Amino acid sequence: MPRERLITHHKRKVLRKRIPLAETLFGAVFIVLVGVATAWVLAQGDNFDPADRDISFELLQEQSVDAELYTPPVKPWVEPGAGSPLAGLPELESLPAGLLDSGWKLDGRVETYDESNVYEKINGAAEQYRSFGFVTLTYVTLLKGSEFINIEIYDQGEFKNALGIFSAQRAPGRRVLRQGEIYYYETPAGVIGGYRNLYFKIVGSSDADAIRAKAASLLELMSDLPAEPSAPPRAFTILTRDLGVDFDDLEYRRSDVFQYEFLSDFWFGAVEPGSESRWFIHQAADTGTARSLFEQLRAEQEYEYRIDGGGDGRVVMQHEFLETWFALDVRGSTLFGVEGAATRKDAEEALERLEEALGAGR
């Protein structure tokens, strides 16, 4: 007798008159199981253990840090005998090869950010750098055992911007030191400073001796960075060279000077070390602009200051409540003055010193 088949390839018809009990039971059990599974899925909903769907720490760390996003096809050609310290170390990109010595190794890769994506690194803090002409950030971490050092190198476009962010972020009372063109101050766990158009932070994970020693050696490497050489601004030269203002007492403000939106690009320097009284200098585009800013500033200051003489183009005023003195003058395209002087005499004397330095000659 031929074996009964449920479905044949000839006709899609049930050819059997009876279906065995086992098959019927299996079918019923199968349907019940599908029903139970469906009910379980519906009841479960979002009620799962989130760890089941989590990616392991190790996997994320491996993939986020060690992923090689770009492999240069060939190493750049280096003329024999003209070996660059960068040759053979493409992973350091533009950073000096000396970064990796004494057992310190690279943690991950060199990261670079520009204005469009710097928030991915320093969200919340980015705006301050942007207000000082931020161009790029180069970020690298060095690792030695359990200690690490973060190196942040901000290209601020110009020397004055780098100095500006440096003075804005400097902790009060920190002594500024010099090493060639590099200016810096030491922190308990590193060094913060500037070099030409670059502002750098070397931040260690602790104040261990190994960190401090490495930070000191890194400082020496900063002058090997590809920075833009440029002549220092005239105002900077006058304050530091002619008036002897130390780096400790120097400040550059790029915007919102005296909290006025119309004032930008001002240099400040303390009349005496640590003094509240400060010179300020602004180099305007032309004589007309300088004169216009003079009038605007004078008009705005009158809301809080009482004008107490002046003459010969200058104006001297006293703060209504603080009783400090403010002197303002303009010569050619240079707007300058003194703020925070204790007495009128101090303000006038400081202004005269500045006029002499500027070579304004009355």
Contact positions vs other proteins (CB under 8 A): 2, 5, 8, 10-11, 13, 15, 46-51, 53-55, 57, 60-61, 64-65, 108, 119-125, 127-128, 141, 148, 150, 152, 169, 171, 174, 187-190, 192, 201, 203-207
What are the CA-CA distances from residue 75 to residues 59, 88, 89, 95 (Å)?
A: 30, 8, 9, 16
Q: How far is the CB of 282 from other proteins (least distance, A)?
A: 25
The pair of three-digit structure tokens given for residue 356, joined into one six-digit string: 């002499």
**Encoded amino acid at 279, one letter:** W
Parallel, antiparallel, or unpaired: how do β-strands 325-331 and 182-187 relate?
A: unpaired
Cβ distance to other proteins smaller for residue 44 or 71? 44
Closest separation in Å from C-beta 127 to other proteins: 6
- Nearer to other proteins by Cβ, of 2 and 80: the residue is 2
Measured from the CB atom, the residue of 16 and 306 that comes closer to other proteins is: 16
Q: Distance of alpha carbon 122 from its chain centroid, rounded?
A: 7
- Give the nearest distance from C-beta 157 to other proteins in angstroms: 19
In the bound state with other proteins, the residue whose beta carbon lies nearer, of 177 and 203, is 203
Q: Considering the complex, what minimum distance in angstroms separates the CB of residue 11 from other proteins? A: 8
The CB-based long-range contact list for 86-90 (8 Å cut-off, 24+ gap) reads none
> Order of strands, edge to edge, in the sheet holding 105-114?
105-114, 136-144, 147-155, 198-204, 190-195, 182-187, 177-179
Kindly give, in sequence order, each residue whose CB lies less than 8 Å from that of residue 160, ignoring residues fewer than 6 positions away.
233, 236, 252, 254, 265, 267
Min separation Cβ 316 and other proteins, Å? 31
Q: Are strands 278-283 and 266-270 parallel, antiparallel or unpaired?
A: antiparallel
Nearer to other proteins among residue 127 and residue 308 (C-beta) = 127
Name the residue nearer to other proteins (CB basis): 132 or 294.
Answer: 132
Q: How far is the CB of 91 from other proteins (least distance, A)?
A: 17
- Amino acid 247 reads F
